[in-house]
Structure 1
Amino acid sequence: MTLKTFRSLPILAGTWLLGAALCAGAATPPEAGAWARGIEGQRQADLGDGTFLNPILAGDHPDPSVLRDGDDYYLTLSSFDAYPGLPLWHSRDLVNWQPLGHAITTSVGSIWAPDLVRHEGRYYIYFPGRTDAGRSNYLVWADDIRGPWSEPVDLHLPDHIDPGHAVGEDGKRYLFLSGGDYVQLSDDGMRTVGDVRHVYDGWRYPEEWVVESYSQEGPKITRHDGWYYMITAVGGTAGPPTGHMVIVARSRSIHGPWENDPNNPVVRTESRDEQWWSRGHATLVEDGAGQWWMMYHGYENGFWTLGRQALLDPVEWTGDGWFVARGGDLGRPLPKPAGESTGRHGMALSDDFSGDRLGHQWAFYQPGPDEMDRVAFEDGALVLQGKGSVPRDASPLTAIAGDRAYQVEVEMEIEPGAVGGALLFYSDRLYAGLGSNGEDFIMHRYGEERPASLKPGKGGRLWLRLTHDDHVLTIHHSRDGRTWEKYGVQMEVSGYHHNTVGKFLSLRPGVYAAGDGRVRFHDFRYRALD
């Protein structure tokens, strides 16, 4: 039995009265000061008064797969082209989350929509990986959620994405896939058994709705009161704000037939005026008091650059065996789930590089198999060997930021022959920032360089400061860390997102080292701005 199957408990009526009061009416998008402020001034959902305000994980935390394991909750998410990948988080109340690390370092390409489960005492993550050469579905496993995790196991499923694990009434394990298909797994979950079969045709929305595409994907299976519930996303994950949605079907048997909820979709952004756009791709979870929740993702109104953020929506089961979402458009505070809160959330993005390994906040973009060979830690500095010539081929090291405005600073010692810099990096096609060979500057804007390249220099010491405020990037530099000079070009970066160049990513602060030498990075600092 998978721990995603839970016993149903009575709904707490008082909670729902409060929730209904909070959710009544259309929500006005919160001002920046509406959230609580945590580490480095980062916004956090827990308001400290028994309520929370979405997002529960600000910034790019897409396709959340949440697992309840006793009194603990664990979470993993899509990591796409960033490695280490498959980030793992822990919570006791579904609102306050702490990082545990990552489940994969060996690259299998861009990682989409994973599913985290526990089965017979072992943890599994099923996920798709795709490269330019091809794609498949994989799994990693561990006997302890904190690792070590196995190397990826190829399931040889090249034609589907978004696997969702389930255990049937026959005790056998199955993997549900995009497009309404599924396949049986071996008892150890390490390989497929038999052919992929089609079991569900989906639910069709009215033709006049404004969506991106049909895109039936992200099936997650939950068993409740003798029914199997399949929660699926349709409508496209980006594109128009009103596209993505959550639909539900149920069956008495894992093999179908599956009947659609007459009230589909259970979640959808109905207007671009709402606080959260493109809401969808949900997982069901029950808290310790018997209250049920959906965790899914959405884009923040006007901030596609932040990526798809993790959202929490309360759920109520109805007398006919279906469920309804009670969080409205998630633009207002909601009562917190039951659970013992740790009172701590998130992680510092700043890093003094005093340790001997990369912090949980860091990941390389499209790293090679030997990427970590570039990394050393010496005397309180992160030392990166140069790679490529400009950010697009240098595998920048980036962190996920969840604030609408923030500032980062970093000190660099640039060796002769190297170029070091600081960036707002979306992908190899779109980034902005400033680099230097220690003497001259190279400007990065629109994913292009001016000048096109820098000649090797004699190196030098340089501080860079990036201020990202309301989509405007302002850059300062300093030769001594005290006297700062504003760079002569400011950049507007609101278009640096998926609907411009694809890839489902976010605009992230980071650093890079290019050329033939090394760059020593000292004291990377992050702070959110009001």
Structure 2
Amino acid sequence: MMLKNIAFVTFFLVVLISGAMGQTTFKNPVLTGMNPDPSVCRVGDDFYLVTSSFEYFPGLPIYHSKDLVHWKMIGYVLSRTSNCPLGGAYSSGGNFAPTIRYHNGTFYVTCTNYGGHGSQGAFYVTATNPAGPWSDPHWVNNWGVDPSLLFANDSVYYVCPDNKGNFLLATLNLATGKFYKAPKVIAHGTGSSSPEGPHLYKINGYYYLMSAEGGTGYQHMEVIQRSRSPWGPYEVSPINPVISNKNDFDNPFQAIGHADLVQLPDSSWWLVCLGIRPQGGHYHHLGRETFLAPVTWNADGWPKGGTNGVVNPEYVVPNLPEYSWGKDPIRDNFSRTTLRLCWNFIRNPYSADWSLTARPGFLRLYGSRISLKDQDSPAFIGRRQTAFNMVASTKISFTPTTPNEEAGLVVRGDDQNHYDFLITLLDGKRVVMLRKYLHNKAVSVTYKKIPDGDIILRIGATAFKYSFWVQEEGNKAEFVGSATTKDLSTEKIGGFIGTYIGMYASGNGKANVNPADFDWFDYEENPVVPYSWLMRSKDISN
């Protein structure tokens, strides 16, 4: 009873202190939309986090936080074709499972580039400023995915899975990318499938090897083992898993795992991990997101994350001063000469396909012969869908000359699954087309005639449905059709990524004669209902 009272008083004091500072609790996930495989490091009072990006370019977004709760994207680790080769990468190929670490004034990110004709396996890059620039890759010439680093004992330990159920450890020469001591099996998985995502930590005289198991689906979990030597032998935690929601069927978060630990200045521990938010059953379309949970250690020195190993929707904030970055503006009016950090291409883009200067104040896309179904880089610029309830819209100027030319908005699942909301020609008439392209074929196509001139295209979303609207400026918006979110879920299409929404143009085998000019793009989470279809005012622009 006394222990329970002490625990309650401690919790009350934390809430009281946090309340004096501002926000008292936070809600998961802390990074929404496709942000899987999070890795985090602390440098003084600052935290930096990277996530996987797969076939999207630039690669490996990097986020900055002061309080572990509020995060701001500050750049990309892989921002050049030379350090992010993605040509030929299949959907959900590309850059897998990075780790970020800091040592003696330098940041290090390890990762594996996979599945493209430019890929060479595992690598690491370096920077003195986490916002960049980052170096070109130092290729390790090792195909063990999910590599991680530990700086300890005047050595650089390199750990990765061998894809056979074991974990390998080597010591690395950072100057050459070669191993001082060749990779050696030091431990095995703890019994579940797909041991992966290892991180090695030196804590209180032990080397803790934490890893993910169970695959990245609904049986996902995080486990840990330890040794007095980095080379083993390792003993498995008797209170595993560290975290997993696989047996908490009513929890809104599932597939919890692939975690990384971080210690705060007050000596408390926290973890970041990936998870999903299924909707309407076992269907998730936003991708795997980043979650945050506290970590406690028992008297025997074994960690447990969340609430008795389960990640819940809400926790008391970490013992850090609150630091909010503020919200990004709803509107991008393309007034700058560089793209905002939220925008991504599919694989390595072709510079001739897009411009912010050809028509100042507009994003111009030159529709190429490449289409969304090709394993290449179409003229597409998109951003993560980060909320179930959202509205994305754009004002477009585009006059197609032949039926093969099209431009507009797209909700992308992957190469073979996307909803295309485009202006094109049908029987010589200018129309807006809603094409549902699923499992590599058009399963439904709807047309609506539109007048000459600029057109506003708008996509509204709920947890279960996308709605597509077209509007001639100054007139009432007209409904064109709807589509389910479920059909773009990972459970339906496979892979590892989440939905993107963006602007697109293509000539489907032949370049467009006329470019598509996008005046602005609005992205609004949890819009006021009913949503106003009027032109957005200046207060949402940059």
* TM-score band w.r.t. shorter chain: 0.7 to 0.9
Assess if the C-alpha contact under 8 Å between 1:228 and 1:251 holds in 2.
yes
Deviation per CA, 1:496-524: give whole Å up to 9, x if none: 12222222011122111112232111110
**Match of 1:426?**
413
Is 1:216 matched up with 2:195? yes
Distance 1:267 1:391 in 2: 38
Residue 387 of structure 1, aligned match among 349, 365, 368: 368
What pairs up with 1:271-282 in 2 under 5 angstroms? Answer: 271-282=248-259
Is 1:99 matched up with 2:73? yes
**Match of 1:202?**
189
Out of 373-382 and 219-228, give the one that drifted further.
Answer: 373-382
Is 1:136 matched up with 2:134? no
Displacement, 1:277? 0.4
User: Structure 1: which amino acid aligns with 2:436?
Assistant: R
Out of 47-56 and 62-71, give the one that drifted further.
Answer: 47-56
Assess if the C-alpha contact under 8 Å between 1:415 and 1:458 holds in 2.
no
Is 1:519 matched up with 2:516? yes
**Match of 1:474?**
467
**Match of 1:323?**
303
**Match of 2:103?**
119
**Match of 1:32?**
none
Assess if the C-alpha contact under 8 Å between 1:367 and 1:395 holds in 2.
no
Distance 2:123 2:288 in 1: 23
- The structure-2 alpha-carbon separation of the partners of 1:347 and 1:480, relative to structure 1 and needing over 3 Å to count, comes to closer
Deviation per CA, 1:410-465: give whole Å up to 9, x if none: 011115454211121111111113111371233321344478999xx998522101
Q: Which has the higher contact order (CA 8 A, sep 6+)?
A: 1
Out of 289-298 and 147-156, give the one that drifted further.
Answer: 147-156
Paired residue secondary structure (2:11)? helix
Paired residue secondary structure (2:487)? coil
Displacement, 1:131? 2.0
Distance 1:372 1:112 in 2: 28
Distance 2:419 2:393 in 1: 15
Residue 17 of structure 1, aligned match among 8, 11, 16: 11
Displacement, 1:346? 5.8
Paired residue secondary structure (2:136)? coil
Residue 132 of structure 2, aligned match among 140, 147, 163: 147
- The structure-2 alpha-carbon separation of the partners of 1:90 and 1:132, relative to structure 1 and needing over 3 Å to count, comes to closer
Assess if the C-alpha contact under 8 Å between 2:122 and 2:139 holds in 1.
yes
What pairs up with 1:492-507 in 2 under 5 angstroms? Answer: 492-507=484-499
**Match of 1:402?**
386
User: Structure 2: which amino acid aligns with 1:225?
Assistant: N
Distance 1:55 1:64 in 2: 12
Distance 1:451 1:201 in 2: 49
Distance 1:306 1:420 in 2: 24
User: Structure 1: which amino acid aligns with 2:435?
Assistant: H
- The structure-2 alpha-carbon separation of the partners of 1:459 and 1:502, relative to structure 1 and needing over 3 Å to count, comes to farther
- Give the TM-score normalised by the residue count of structure 2: 0.82
Assess if the C-alpha contact under 8 Å between 1:55 and 1:312 holds in 2.
yes
Assess if the C-alpha contact under 8 Å between 1:376 and 1:384 holds in 2.
no
Distance 1:523 1:137 in 2: 39
Displacement, 1:194? 4.5
**Match of 1:250?**
226
Paired residue secondary structure (2:197)? strand
**Match of 1:338?**
319
Deviation per CA, 1:370-398: give whole Å up to 9, x if none: 34763333321111221235432325221
- The structure-2 alpha-carbon separation of the partners of 1:19 and 1:151, relative to structure 1 and needing over 3 Å to count, comes to farther
Assess if the C-alpha contact under 8 Å between 1:466 and 1:476 holds in 2.
yes
Distance 1:150 1:95 in 2: 29
**Match of 1:177?**
160
Distance 1:458 1:176 in 2: 60
Residue 437 of structure 2, aligned match among 429, 443, 446: 446
Distance 2:313 2:496 in 1: 26
- The structure-2 alpha-carbon separation of the partners of 1:250 and 1:445, relative to structure 1 and needing over 3 Å to count, comes to same
Assess if the C-alpha contact under 8 Å between 1:79 and 1:111 holds in 2.
yes
What pairs up with 1:478-493 in 2 under 5 angstroms? Answer: 478-480=471-473, 482-487=475-480, 489-493=481-485
- Give the TM-score normalised by the residue count of structure 1: 0.84
Distance 1:75 1:497 in 2: 26
Assess if the C-alpha contact under 8 Å between 1:248 and 1:265 holds in 2.
yes
User: Structure 2: which amino acid aligns with 1:174?
Assistant: Y
Displacement, 1:483? 2.6
Paired residue secondary structure (1:288)? coil
User: Structure 2: which amino acid aligns with 1:321?
Assistant: G
Paired residue secondary structure (1:141)? strand
**Match of 1:193?**
180
What pairs up with 1:155-166 in 2 under 5 angstroms? Answer: 155-158=140-143, 160-166=144-150
Paired residue secondary structure (1:396)? strand
Distance 2:195 2:152 in 1: 22
- The structure-2 alpha-carbon separation of the partners of 1:481 and 1:401, relative to structure 1 and needing over 3 Å to count, comes to farther
Deviation per CA, 1:132-157: give whole Å up to 9, x if none: 44650122211111211112232211
Paired residue secondary structure (2:331)? coil
What pairs up with 1:16-55 in 2 under 5 angstroms? Answer: 17-18=11-12, 49-55=23-29
Distance 1:477 1:401 in 2: 20
Displacement, 1:495? 2.9
Assess if the C-alpha contact under 8 Å between 2:367 and 2:505 holds in 1.
yes
Unaligned stretches of 5+ in structure 2?
Answer: 1-5, 16-20, 87-93, 528-542
**Match of 2:3?**
none
- The structure-2 alpha-carbon separation of the partners of 1:54 and 1:451, relative to structure 1 and needing over 3 Å to count, comes to closer
Deviation per CA, 1:38-88: give whole Å up to 9, x if none: xxxxxxxxx953111111112211111111000000011001111011111
| Percent identity for Structure 1 against Structure 2 | 26
Assess if the C-alpha contact under 8 Å between 2:334 and 2:356 holds in 1.
no
- The structure-2 alpha-carbon separation of the partners of 1:286 and 1:413, relative to structure 1 and needing over 3 Å to count, comes to same
Is 1:462 matched up with 2:455? yes
Distance 1:104 1:357 in 2: 16
Deviation per CA, 1:256-309: give whole Å up to 9, x if none: 111110111121111332121010001000112221101101001325111111
**Match of 1:8?**
none
Assess if the C-alpha contact under 8 Å between 1:85 and 1:102 holds in 2.
yes
Displacement, 1:248? 0.4
**Match of 1:294?**
271
Assess if the C-alpha contact under 8 Å between 2:463 and 2:485 holds in 1.
no
User: Structure 2: which amino acid aligns with 1:315?
Assistant: V
**Match of 1:211?**
none
- The structure-2 alpha-carbon separation of the partners of 1:420 and 1:48, relative to structure 1 and needing over 3 Å to count, comes to farther
Deviation per CA, 1:328-360: give whole Å up to 9, x if none: 533342110122222225644631111111101
Unaligned stretches of 5+ in structure 1?
Answer: 1-11, 22-46, 206-213
Residue 267 of structure 1, aligned match among 243, 246, 254: 243
Displacement, 1:192? 3.2
**Match of 2:287?**
307
**Match of 1:376?**
356
**Match of 1:43?**
none
Distance 1:224 1:372 in 2: 51
- Aligned alpha-carbon RMSD (Å): 2.7
Distance 1:297 1:78 in 2: 11
- The structure-2 alpha-carbon separation of the partners of 1:13 and 1:227, relative to structure 1 and needing over 3 Å to count, comes to farther
Displacement, 1:116? 0.6
